[in-house]
Amino acid sequence: MRSGAGTTRPSSVRHLYGPTLAVGLLGAFGAIAGAAHPWVRATSTVPGLPTIHASATGADLAPLASALGVVVLGAFGAVVATRGWVRRSLGAAVLVASVVIFVSAVHPGGATDVLTSGLSAKGWSGGGYRTSTEVWRWLVLACSVATALAGAATTRYGDQWAVMGSRYDAPRATLTSPEKPAEELTETDVWQAIDQGRDPTQAP
């Protein structure tokens, strides 16, 4: 029986885990770095006077974007250690945070006040000045799109991905397992006995 055209194979879903996590973490780092650098620069040129420069960083213009970048980074770190609906909820939170970061980068506020204040602090006495948008703002926009896609993938497929450390969990106790002499106990039997509150070295 052939699967439908829109069906995603389980193996393909599992293979999305690593790339999704990598994109999410790199995107979060990029958003944090981009928000810490200048988004807009202003230059005032007056004949006979030195050229004056001022800049406004992403943290100045969109502090929420800067803070949410840290939240997204922490959420993807938590994705590694969670499972099921908790992991999918983290993906949804990342998606929402990424949308807010994108909107904040598209519509940053208060650039004029920050730039004129910076120019005035360097001796600017008024008049015109030129402004330019820096590449760091576009980096934040691109990274927010990347983390949004990674968050959406986590929301959709996160409960089907592997869970870190499950192979190292202590074997669960099985109350129906037969008792064995101490010299015949395996490592699994020892863990089961400890989980049941028994001393594995003592004969039943």
What is the model's pTM? Answer: 0.71
Taking the CA atoms of residue 133, residue 136, residue 140 and residue 146 in that order, the dihedral angle to the nearest 10 degrees is 120
Checking if the pLDDT of 109 tops 90, the result is no
Tokens of 6: 């829109």
b/e 156-171 (16+ beta carbons within 10 angstroms → b) = bbbbebeeeeeeeeee
Q: Where are the alpha helices (DSSP H) in 5-62?
A: 10-15, 17-36, 58-61
Checking if the pLDDT of 92 tops 80, the result is yes
Tokens of 58: 């992403």
CB contact at 8 A, 177 and 192: yes
- Model confidence band, residue 167 (pLDDT cutoffs 50, 70, 90): very low
